[in-house]
Amino acid sequence: MDKTLGYLREILSNYTDEHSVGRHIYRKISKGTFTSEESFIRDLNQEEINFLNHMLPREINYAKEEQDEKRAHELNEVYELLV
């Protein structure tokens, strides 16, 4: 699995209880055979894209607050592909 998608899957695990879209994306990453974040993004529907566009900025900011620049960078890569 692509390292960036591993970070995203880890973050999404926090959204599996309350958000069905988050749970669906988490399963998609876990079961998928995505070779890159680009291939993953191409497989998303509009609802999933909207969910990630809403959730990722908060998670990127949190990673920065925690001084986890690697995680912030990897999550930002996904976010930039969505925009």
Per residue in 22-44, pLDDT (tens digit) is 999 999 999 878 888 899 999 99
Q: Is pLDDT at 1 greater than 70 in this prediction?
A: no
The domain total for the chain is 1
5, 40 Cβ separation under 8 angstroms: yes
| Structural domain range at position 33 | 3-82
Say what the pTM is. Answer: 0.89
